[in-house]
Chain A
Amino acid sequence: MNVWLDAILILVVILGLFIVSSIRLGTMIKIFGVQSMILGLVPFLMYAKDMEFYIILVSLAAIVLRGFIMPYFLFWAIRHVSERSEASQVIGTGATILLSGLSVVGSFLLASKLVFPVPISSDLVIPSSFSLIIMGFLLLVGRTKAISQVVGYLVLENGIFLFAILLLKKMPLLVEMGILLDLFIAAVVMGIVVSHISDEFNNMDTIQLSTLKD
């Protein structure tokens, strides 16, 4: 179902745009959850013709882990934080929206130069994954609150996961599950450290985390 796959990929990119342009932390986490859930549908659609059990498993794992458990856990990490919105950003909202638009353009340009050796069902997969990766970077670099940087890292991961879906049939199951698990635990550890930060500093501004300098 080519059209459905295209629609979902565009929706994922648009949601990424929303995450990048939102200022409230709660909104960012919720939209990330929705984006992960929709992203979990992509393996279903891509391999609709030759479906195997483990593809369903990977889809379900992605949806549950990143769509439900991750947002819940992120909200737990900021339970003590009272400032729920980004006060100062390194890159302003308008600039980030424009940069993400440019990133979409750039991803399409890059993807047209790299020819994928095996035909794939939709030609939007590689550009979408690159756009998500760049949008994740924009969040990581442009925000000061620690939890926004964690969400940026998770969006980056979503982009890499989208690319990995292309290789789902080729990589052994062990490695695929291992990677999923690893990334999940990474995010968990990040959440724990964010919790420590917010306990110690009473807020999450990473601007405060710059005492170690030469």
Chain B
Amino acid sequence: MTSQRVLTGEHFINGDEACTEGALAAGCNFFAGYPITPATEVAEAMSRRLPKLDGTYVQMEDEIASIAAVLGAAWGGAKSMTSTSGPGFSLMMENIGLGVITETPCVVVNIQRGGPSTGLPTTCGQGDIMQARWGSHGHYEIIAISPSSPQEMFDFTIRAFNLAETFRIPVLIMADEVVGHTLERVTIPPAEKIKVVNRKKPSKPPEKYLPYKTDSSLIPVLPDAGDGYKIHMTGLTHDERGYPVPDAQTQEVLITRLINKIRNNRDAIIDYEKHFLDGAKIIIVTYGSSVRPALKAMRDLRDDGLKVGLLKLNTIWPFAEDLIRKLAKKVKAFVVPEVNFGQIALEVERCASGQALTKLIHHAGGGIHTPQQITNAVQKILPEIGSKRKRK
């Protein structure tokens, strides 16, 4: 096994392994996980690669311990990651909340599968999207990324680490079993071409330093354990010193800052790809493994003369509200194929505010849509939006 961190070159690997390679290219040096289909390959690849790179791989006793160890390692200065699927994701929720309130950078990968409960362990699902947003108790904002191919698993994992280090928050990678298990060509560029962001460290001496006092970016600059600052981190609502203060005023100040830290910076976080949106009357909004059949469906519908465009969401949280609101004024309908019974569709509908029809193409899980299913669904809504099916 190589001790080279960035395996520059062409590879034929699946999405899980590509995710591992992306993490390593971003500087990941700590992984704590627990086996769960379909995310196990991420852990297995990490267990092979990390020891040769002087990193630490440890298999913990459950997912709760995994996310705890990941946060603990991040406090010590490591770039840490864990990977799981639905059942483990549910277990991790409490500690993800701790990561949010202590503002700890780390990456959590969820290779979604059919749910709820044990569900369909070996096949696709996209049912955890809302859970990624609201899964932990209390009100907070989160960053979630949705790769749609093994190449994007590599690229987006690097971005996830960079976002975590910049915004000091756990970043969720919401992949799914199809993306995770697809074997495809992945191109890994030379290490010099990969942009890696590291967390800022405090410049003030300990006596003059307040851990959670921020500038206008609202992002704190926190030291690592052992840097000599003797910080106190707690899950209790805390003030600028990091000490617990149990009152409404402190809560207002802290939670407002945590929420605005993401909301105010959403332009730097939100990422999407536009396909033929100009002049489109119908826009397919899609993410994850639903992207490929949707792209084919879009091409087929356009060949048929329909003005159909596609919006590929590369980040799902924060949601691209501003863009949807803008597009809703120009289009007749949004069509949302997703492997659930309507999660991003709800967001699209909310932002469309009735100005455009929002049509969900659901899938209960266990696979993904076929392009035909998507084209049929679009054809069906044409009468509703007063569009006649044109023929070339």
Q: Check if A and B associate.
A: no
